[in-house]
Amino acid sequence: MKELKIVTPILSVSYDELSDSDRRLVDAARKMTYKSYSPYSRFSVGAAILLDNDVVVTGSNQENVAYPSGICAERSAAFYAGANYPEAHFMAIAIAARGTDGEEITDPISPCGACRQALAEYEQLAGHDVKVILAGHDSIYIVPSVKSLMPLAFIDFA
């Protein structure tokens, strides 16, 4: 018997410690929380994806009265990127959120399982790690890749 351990390295940084490029993404994700359509949860999420053509694609959560028909901010941005820039590869994604009180959440939120699954495939297509930046008001986490957020992901069935 052998125990296998999976480690997710997370860098906790302040806004000032971000690179210019990462700061640009966090700013874009925070701005997108104001475009969220979330009358049911009142939880506003924004996402911004940097592509390798230097375009930043953004998204926000879009809810629906038939609850499962809505979509998270991450997949709204990812699918927009895939649909509009099919040749481009993802480099990084930033995610930010505001809670029911309208304030930015203190600690970062992390993508749901469905978004991790979708992002894992775009990372696979990119052929390199896609950095994940989780922005809270008090702390910002940098995770080096989607696969480190979703170990043992199902990414192909060949």
Active site residues: 74
Contact criterion met (CB below 8 Å) for 115 and 74: yes
User: Quick one: 29 or 91, whose CB is closer to ligand THU?
Assistant: 29
Provide the CB-side half-sphere exposure for 135 (13 A, CA).
Answer: 29
Mask for 2-41, x = binds ligand THU (CB under 6 A) = ------------------------------------x--x
In the complex with ligand THU, which residue's Cβ is closer, 63 or 123? 63
For ligand THU, give the closer residue by CB, 102 or 127.
Answer: 102
Q: Number of helices (H) and strands (E), helices first, in the chain?
A: 3, 6
The per-residue DSSP string of 83-106 comes to: HH-TT--EEEEEEEEE-TTSSBPS
**Binding footprint of ligand THU on the chain (CB under 6 A):** 38, 41, 43, 45, 61, 63, 70, 72-74, 109, 111-112, 115
